Amino acid sequence: GEDVEQSLFLSVREGDSSVINCTYTDSSSTYLYWYKQEPGAGLQLLTYIFSNMDMKQDQRLTVLLNKKDKHLSLRIADTQTGDSAIYFCAESIGGYSTLTFGKGTMLLVSP
Amino acid sequence: AAGVIQSPRHLIKEKRETATLKCYPIPRHDTVYWYQQGPGQDPQFLISFYEKMQSDKGSIPDRFSAQQFSDYHSELNMSSLELGDSALYFCASSLGIQETQYFGPGTRLLVL
């Protein structure tokens, strides 16, 4: 995960917006993904963005991509306690199919 | 919708034993990937297969091998298990290489 960096922890109140940030180093990244992992569970694909896009919205989720700064963010509107989980940013590069993950950001939503 | 199936979900082995993990991709998916996630770590790519051929190789130890069968399911064989192999092993599948990967629930392996 050294090519993809995330802050480790974010705490918000229920109803607030959460913004989880990610930076990556490889400019040839093709797709960038956000996965959610609840305790002891698998990886759930939340959303993804193609590298030629700068924004994608899907219900409460908004992904922003700043390709110049190699910065990706995930905004969760009206955060709920059920959103508490670890969020992984991941990139796939060029002609390769493998995913490189960040270390994950633990989101804690308090009532 | 059908998801990726992994078996077993939990496995306990002793050092130097062998283990076989199985992955059944989403129907029609032809590509499978294996990842290893150590405690508190991010998933690390091990190996992938497309149309029954190895398509990419990551940090898979020589003690591990994998294959994809004619029905597209895949097995990860792990021999001479070490304590450090204790981890969550994920399988993911996609319809074609470079397409979105969907992950299974993982197999939690504990080596004692």
Tell me: the pLDDT tens digits for A46-79?
999 988 889 999 999 999 999 889 999 999 999 9
Chain B touched by A103 (CB under 8 Å) = yes
Contact B98 A30 (CB under 8 A): yes
Phi and psi at A81, nearest 5°, equal: -60, -30
DSSP string for residues in B26-58: PTT--EEEEEEE-TT---EEEEEEETTEEEEE-
Q: Which two tokens stand for residue A13?
A: 């109140």
User: Distance between CA atoms of A23 and A64, rounded to whole angstroms?
Assistant: 12
- What digits encode the pLDDT tens for the residues A3-38? 889 988 999 999 999 999 999 887 777 788 999 999
Contact B103 A45 (CB under 8 A): yes
Contact A31 B100 (CB under 8 A): yes
pLDDT band at A1 (very low <50, low <70, confident <90, very high): very low
Contact B45 A92 (CB under 8 A): no
Q: Which of A42, A48, A102 sits opposite B90 (nearest CB)?
A: A42
Chain A touched by B93 (CB under 8 Å) = no
